[in-house]
Amino acid sequence: MDLNKLLSCLRRLLDDNTLIMSESLQSLWSGYGQIIRLFSERYQCCYVVKVVAPPQVVDHPRGWHSDVGHERKLKSYQVESAFYQQVSPILNEQCKVPKLLALHHFDEHMLLVLEDLDELGFDVRIEHQQGKALDLALRWLAQFHAQSWRIQSQDLWPTGSYWHLSTRQSEWQNMPESELKQKAKAIDQRLASARFKTLIHGDAKFANFCFHHQQSDVAAVDFQYVGYGSPVKDIAYLASGCLSGDQLFDMGQEVLMRYLSYLAAAFEQYQIPLDFTEVSQELNYLYPFAWADFYRFLVGWNSQSAKISEFMKQQTQLCLLELAKC
């Protein structure tokens, strides 16, 4: 979209003729738009705008493109707008997300105007684990999972996460023949049949967390793949991206234990009427399945991914051994 037309549209949308372009923050995946920062001279504040504008010709970073992929991306932005309208108003400050200020749809385009988290002190970005970062992210996820436990919406993904099997058949076909490929559906079904499901973030990597400069809190962004599932999918995915291979062997199980302690506290805080012992048992049981499920995606998508670790392979073997008992 032309910048002048974009600014005119946003000025009308926000009823603010003093809006100016501050900076372009990043491009969206496969050239589907960009994220920009605007400055209001009238109110002396910034806004962050997610501009979804699907390209005429898609340029996927790894050469993956299909009509299925295109429709999945379009659906993901619809899901994100539904999240900000239906779910985020219910979340409290212990589960910080940017407030939705305005939303505009036209054709396949979308403008999502959000408060600027940097102005609220959430201006630190971290790539790998350091200090309190992992614990803050785990606490945020526990709060999100607990606060979302009773939420029902037809406008979110029936199955949360961007890598789940039903939407990744091309990547599954691309896998070499292996036991993991043969058992992919069984792994997916075991996760899908979990008793204890809630909304999961679906892309809970450090890049989607904005840490407070006082190292006291964290907020999350990018809710394109929010949907229902076992919380361990978020936990395994988070750990796979922020911990090195050696760290995973030292902390891989501890990450789940820390998360469960935060989740137990959140269950008590919100008086969720479930037996937490049973919840904990199921999440411990499904943890290797969550690792194996993500490994399945990576093998078919990019077998050289830095996220593939010996710990991930070990957890996958535990999952396959469990399936062999059936």
Residue ranges per domain, the chain?
A: 3-115, 123-324
**pTM across the whole model:** 0.95
Q: Residue 62: its pLDDT value, please? A: 54
Q: Which tokens belong to 120?
A: 């609220």
Q: Residue 61: its pLDDT value, please? A: 53
- Over residues 75-96, the mean pLDDT reads 97
% residues pLDDT > 90 (the chain): 87
**Does the pLDDT of residue 122 top 70, yes or no?**
yes
Summary mean pLDDT of the chain: 95
- CATH for the stretch 3-115: 3.30.200.20
Describe the crossing of helices 276-301 and 245-269 by its angle, rounded to 10 degrees: 140
Task: Give 217's contacts (C-beta < 8 A, 6+ positions apart).
Answer: 96, 122, 136, 211
pLDDT in tens, 253-297: 999 999 999 999 999 999 999 999 999 999 999 999 999 999 999
Q: Residue 108: its pLDDT value, please? A: 78
pLDDT in tens, 136-159: 999 999 999 999 999 999 999 999
Q: Is residue 202 within 8 Å of 112, Cβ to Cβ?
A: no
- Over residues 183-209, the mean pLDDT reads 98
Domain 123-324 in the same topology as domain 3-115: no
Q: Residue 318: its pLDDT value, please? A: 98
Query: Closest Cα to residue 160, out of 87, 84, 224, 65?
Result: 224
**pLDDT-derived band of residue 2, with 50, 70 and 90 as boundaries?**
confident
**Does the pLDDT of residue 57 top 70, yes or no?**
no
- CATH for the stretch 123-324: 3.90.1200.10
Q: Is residue 35 within 8 Å of 51, Cβ to Cβ?
A: yes
DSSP per-residue codes, 128-178? S--TTHHHHHHHHHHHHHHHTTT---TTSBSS-SS--GGG-HHHHHHSPS-
